[in-house]
Chain A
Amino acid sequence: MILEPGTHSNLKSRKRFDSLFRYLCLGAASVGVLILVIFLTKIVLDGLEYFSWKFVISDLSSRPKQTGIWPAIVGTLYVMVLTAIISVPIGVASAIYLQEFARRKNRFISIIQLNIANLSGVPSIVYGLLGLVLFVKLLAFGQSIIAGALTMTLLILPTVIIVTQEALKAVPTSYREGSMALGSTQWQSIRLQVLPNALSGILTGIILSISRAIGETAPLIVVGAATYVTSLPKGLRDHYTVLPIKIFDYANDSKDEFHKIAASAILVLMIGLLCINSFAIYLRARTNSKK
């Protein structure tokens, strides 16, 4: 095709097409930036009106001017911390097994790997259904914060495993081999050599998984997170609400003022995500510079 006769004669048009194509691709790539700027501007413009420190720390109210979202912030934090506490040990342990202990890479292991990859593609609402039947009804946890946290754990577990595996893979084999040549057991070599070196990657990955989970609303709605609570959750069995659900609730409301309040709640959520992600990036940069 390139060597077709006549390719030299239409060189001009080919060159024109070349630059056109280049600009087309640039335009496509810039669309993302453009949309991002429009988004952020819109949210900030809408949300500034009701955004204030008082808004952040006040209780929920059905009166627009008095409402705050503190219970939602607390609920989100509780659910996320609980989720992290449960999912991190399980996820890291699974990844260690798949990556370190299971050296033989037999059929069994590859089935587990395939299974994990599939699980990460399951829509989040299906996890909600799982949580509803298993945690809310079967184990009778009811519409409580522990049911929500367990459901979210199952949701992010595949991601945590995959991310930890990647971090473990990145540690050179020489570390393990050297350590075992000096007589350490496999677990000792993992604990003393591999894990410390993979730690930053694991932490970054976990933080990013959690930050993605913070925005997940659908599973929590199915397992019964409330849209209106009158008190902060104190125990694992308590009712709770989370930021994304309040955003959804306010956006659905017919009063226009609540739409603006939804935007303010979005601002709070985005600032929280920004802080978490910046921390993850900072961690990654710091440990990279150490190497």
Chain B
Amino acid sequence: MTSTGTDKAGVAGSNGSGNFSHNKVSVHLQRKIREGLIRTFCAFCALISVVTTIAIVYILFSQALPFFTHVDLKEFATGTEWKPTPEPGHFGILPLVTGTLMITVGAGLFAVPLGLLSAIYLAEYAKPKAKAILKPALELLAGIPTVVYGYFGLFFVTPALRNVFPQIQSSNALAGAIVVGIMILPLVSSLCEDAISSVPVALKEGAQGLGATKAETTMKIVVPAAFSGIVASFILALSRALGETMAVTLAAGSNPILSLDPTKGIETMTAYMVSTSKGDIEVGTMKYMSIFAVGLVLFAFTFGMNMVARKLVAKFKLNYQ
């Protein structure tokens, strides 16, 4: 009851005489209450993120479930026609999934090799002057909003492609894949660069000490050593490409057909979700529920990919820390 350690800071309320008074106890109590309140508030805020996840999962399931009472799950998963109107409509999701995959895989084909090679250059070869130009350029590319990429796809990439493929439609999968590839290039590059830079210098020096050229060291020692980190970066970038909405809606189209022809317009899952939301969506209609059904599939895909990527990064960190 005599105040000891708690009043050492000499805050207002102590009368310096060493014996406890009504003042000291209440200050001590006040401080403890305030601490507790602040701590609780912060904990509460941290919980909001948990609540968000629960809310997302709950909403996706609860709004999509009635959809599956009307549409057979098998037809949904394997059907090749996606035509919500005219009623009753066909709801086979394969056209949307193929559309999404065409964009994602196409973007990956563009961004993965380029991103890895630029990361190698930045991590291994680049002098500070070169870095000062290349890195900000990549950061700027990453900062461009996705709608702008869509514009670019519609009004630069497609007309340019028309010189090679005269029959190309005004919205097409190839333009979408290129544009999304450019979008994820900075991500691949910076994540790979991090992975490569974390490889211990000793490994590189060892190899060079044994007579390997820089290229050989990089390809045979560094890249394999950073492998799981590199693969994780690919997966994260592809997951980002999968969830991309505006650029593909503009550049690749809103035409849900099942086709592997890159000159045709297609529709990704995200494009369908945003195009349908633009019109008037009445709760309870098939159209409304279909948005959530597709959203559920999208969420499952990206969630799965992110988990895999995270496990790989953890494994990678384990190896080098």
Contacts and interface: CB of A to CB of B under 8 A. Distances in A.
Q: Do A and B come from one complex?
A: yes
A20 B218 CA distance: 13
Nearest to A46: B155
Candidate in A129, A211, A259 with the most chain B CB atoms within 10 angstroms: A129
Contact of A94 (B46, B115, B137): B46
Given A96-B42, A185-B35, A125 B150 contact: no
Contact of A124 (B34, B45, B56, B243): B243
Contact of B148 (A38, A43, A121): A43
Contacts of B34: 187
Nearest to B280: A224
Interface string A249-289: 00110000001001100100110010001000000000000
B14 to A, nearest CB: 11
Contact of B146 (A24, A97, A215): A215
A251 B250 contact: yes
Given A121-B236, A218-B246, A251 B150 contact: yes
Given A93-B42, A118-B306, A129-B292, A215 B147 contact: yes
A217 B275 CA distance: 12
Is chain A's interface secondary structure helix, strand, loop, or mixed overall? helix
A28 B144 contact: no
Contacts of A89: 45
B243 A125 contact: yes
Given A28-B113, A251-B151, A186 B35 contact: yes
B306 A126 contact: no
B306 A244 contact: no
A20 B284 CA distance: 61
A270 B185 CA distance: 20
A118 B53 contact: yes
A229 to B, nearest CB: 15
Interface stretch (A51-59, A60-68, A131-139): A131-139
A222 B274 contact: yes
Contacts of B182: 35
Contacts, number: 264
A130 B56 contact: yes
Interface stretch (A10-18, A169-177, A193-201, A231-239): A10-18
B121 A112 contact: no
A140 B160 CA distance: 47
Interface in B265-321: 270, 273-274, 277-278, 283, 291-292, 295, 298-299, 302-303, 306-307, 310
Interface residues of B, number: 99
Contact of A28 (B8, B60, B117, B124): B117
A265 B144 CA distance: 13
Interface residues of A, number: 92
Given A187-B34, A263-B151, A269 B216 contact: no
Interface of A: 1-3, 7, 14-15, 17-18, 20-22, 24-33, 35-36, 38-39, 42-43, 46, 89-91, 93-94, 96-98, 101-102, 111-112, 114-119, 121-130, 132-134, 137, 154, 157-158, 161, 182-187, 211-212, 214-218, 221-222, 244, 247-248, 251-252, 259, 262-263, 266, 269-270, 273, 277
Given A29-B134, A129-B295, A251-B155, 14 more contacts: A26-B121, A28-B113, A31-B114, A39-B148, A46-B155, A94-B46, A97-B46, A118-B53, A121-B306, A123-B299, A183-B9, A251-B147, A259-B155, A266-B147
9 contacts: A32-B137, A32-B138, A97-B39, A119-B52, A123-B245, A130-B59, A183-B6, A215-B144, A216-B145
Return the 8 tightest CB-CB contacts between A and B, nearest first.
A215-B145, A123-B243, A28-B117, A97-B42, A183-B9, A25-B121, A29-B118, A21-B215
